[in-house]
């Protein structure tokens, strides 16, 4: 179905749009969209993203805590052309997409939109299930924290506050890295490869026995702020590598939190914030850039937006953000022989390899598929939960996303094993994964790291 067909079918539905709130970026959409496919008298070309074509007025994002009381997360089962209906709801702001394929899409629905969106879907015979009936309640129950006394006792006993029964703030994570560098100086060292927009250090931990002629492996997490299980899993991986350092066969460079500003904001402001916290463009008011659309390969293509209020906003240019620029500068200067680039995200349980910018694959995709499947098998057997991870090309298996870190690592750095690994779960909790699942999820992530390490060693020797 063409976009113009959607416009004619829904003109009655969208003639008078109410004030919409798109997650934390509240904005107003003028309500005189006409049946001639115009906005404010200006024609909109066919094929243009509606949300990029309409004019948006945003308001400042407040620092006070954003509440999701009464909001729900729905899983929409859209077949064939029905997926375009869901995309339309997203583009006009009535729902906010979490993740999804062409036929199964998870969306956040605000309480004031629930009756409207429900009626809209029913009238078009689109089925949906309510996955999270009260999002704020899920957020409130997600992360039971140790008491201050327990954390103080932990720090006194171990020298740091990190444990994996709860999600930790950035200070705890950075304190843990510093502790490792001081306690295990023969294998651990910390470097700051740059600073975030708000001035927080981007701390990379190097774990190495100093052996010559071994492959280097890059691991990162937390590029999207709301994906808490990613930094938790990466720090768990660090703990395991250090505790078993006698068995190290590669050098590891690990950045647990790529997006420290956004990550901190999810604790103090908006639990579901995704982007970094860079200032708006001149004359604009919407904050942040999607860092995983800001890398310098096929930047600005499919799966991105030039609209600063969108969650997939690319930024003004490749590597326009200090966080992505710091990673680029690190690789420009490093002498490491990198054979793997692993970036951990959530959710959906996928092992994805390039390309993400289009439904195409690199020449060695068969090897990437083989190692991906081996990783999935090891993840399945890592715990008693027997988690299933789907392996495939990013754009085909999930959705197109240009300017991603893994595409850049594969194309520009020539790193062989470049993967985006989407951790638990498959939608029951989504981004609000309860802390009790950190350890089993992290064990699965560690299994993938070990599998990719073995493949890297084999390839490196060849």
And the tokens for 144? 């039971």
Measuring CA to CA, which residue among 175, 268, 263 is closest to residue 221?
Answer: 263
Identify the bridge partners of residue 105 per DSSP, sorted by sequence position.
Answer: 76, 100
Would you list the DSSP string of 19-60?
-EEETTEEEEE-S---TTSEETTEE--TTS-HHHHS-EEE-P
The DSSP 8-state label assigned to residue 351 in this structure reads E
Residue 311, helix vs strand vs coil: coil
Measured CA to CA, the distance from residue 191 to residue 365 in angstroms comes to 33
457 CB-contact burial (10 Å; exposed 0-12 / middle 13-18 / buried 19+): middle
Describe the crossing of helices 229-243 and 170-183 by its angle, rounded to 10 degrees. Answer: 10
Here the tokens at position 247 are 């068995």
Q: Which residue's entry shows tokens 């709301």?
A: 226
Residues 106 and 124: their CA atoms lie apart, in Å, by 18
Distance CA 239, CA 162 (A): 10
Q: Per residue, what are the HEC states of 183-233?
A: HCCCCEEEEEEEECCCCCEEEEEEECCCCCCCCEEEEEECCCCCCCHHHHH
CA distances from 253 to 64, 168, 217, 229, 284 (A): 36, 21, 6, 19, 37
The β-bridge relationship of strands 56-58 and 20-22 is unpaired
Instruction: Give the number of C-alpha atoms closer than 13 A to the C-alpha of residue 325, restricted to the C-beta side.
Output: 13
Pairing of strands 350-353, 390-393: parallel
Q: What is the number of other CB atoms lying within 10 angstroms of the CB of residue 41?
A: 8
Bridge partners (DSSP) of residue 21 are 26
Contact partners, residue 367, CB within 8 Å, separation at least 6:
416
94 is catalytic: no
**Which of these is catalytic: 227, 323, 422, 444?**
422
Active site residues: 422
């Amino acid at each position: 179905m063409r976009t113009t067909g959607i416009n004619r079918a829904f003109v009655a539905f969208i003639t008078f749009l109410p004030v919409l709130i798109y997650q934390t970026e509240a904005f107003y959409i003028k309500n005189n969209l006409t049946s001639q496919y115009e906005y404010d008298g200006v024609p909109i070309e066919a094929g243009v993203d509606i949300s990029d074509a309409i004019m948006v007025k945003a308001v400042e994002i407040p620092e006070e805590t954003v509440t999701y009381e009464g909001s729900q997360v729905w899983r929409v089962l859209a077949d064939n052309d029905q997926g375009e209906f869901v995309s339309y709801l997203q583009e006009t702001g009535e729902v906010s997409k979490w993740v999804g394929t062409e036929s199964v899409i998870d969306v956040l629905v605000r309480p004031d939109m629930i009756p409207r969106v429900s009626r809209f879907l029913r009238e078009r015979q689109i089925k949906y299930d309510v996955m999270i009936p009260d999002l704020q309640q899920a957020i409130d129950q997600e992360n039971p924290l140790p008491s201050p006394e327990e954390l103080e006792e932990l720090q006194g006993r171990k020298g740091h506050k990190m444990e994996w029964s709860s999600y930790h703030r950035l200070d705890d994570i950075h304190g843990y890295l510093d502790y490792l560098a001081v306690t295990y100086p023969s294998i651990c060292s910390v470097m700051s490869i740059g600073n975030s927009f708000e001035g927080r250090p981007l701390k990379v931990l190097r774990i190495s026995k100093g052996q010559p002629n071994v492959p280097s492996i890059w691991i990162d997490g937390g590029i999207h702020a709301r994906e808490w299980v990613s930094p938790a899993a990466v720090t768990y991986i660090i703990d395991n590598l250090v505790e078993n350092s006698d068995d190290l066969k590669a050098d590891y460079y690990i950045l647990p939190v790529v997006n420290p500003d956004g990550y901190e904001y999810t604790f103090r402001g908006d639990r579901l914030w995704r982007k970094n916290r860079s200032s708006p463009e001149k004359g604009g008011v919407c904050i942040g850039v999607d860092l995983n659309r800001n890398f310098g390969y096929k930047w600005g293509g499919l799966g991105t937006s030039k609209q600063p209020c969108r969650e997939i906003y690319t930024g003004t240019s490749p590597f326009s953000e200090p966080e992505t620029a710091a990673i680029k500068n690190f690789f420009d200067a490093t002498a490491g022989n990198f054979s793997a680039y692993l970036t951990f995200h959530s959710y959906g349980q996928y092992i994805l390899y390039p390309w993400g910018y289009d439904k195409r694959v690199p020449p060695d995709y068969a090897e990437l598929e083989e190692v991906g499947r081996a990783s999935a098998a090891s993840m399945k057997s890592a715990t008693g939960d027997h988690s299933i991870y789907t392996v495939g090309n990013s754009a085909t298996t999930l959705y197109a996303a240009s300017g991603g870190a893994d595409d850049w690592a594969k194309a520009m750095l020539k790193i062989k094993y470049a993967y985006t690994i989407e951790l638990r779960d498959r939608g029951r909790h989504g981004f609000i994964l309860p802390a009790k699942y950190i350890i089993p999820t992290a064990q699965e992530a560690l299994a993938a790291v070990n599998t990719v390490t073995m493949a890297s060693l084999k390839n490196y020797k060849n």
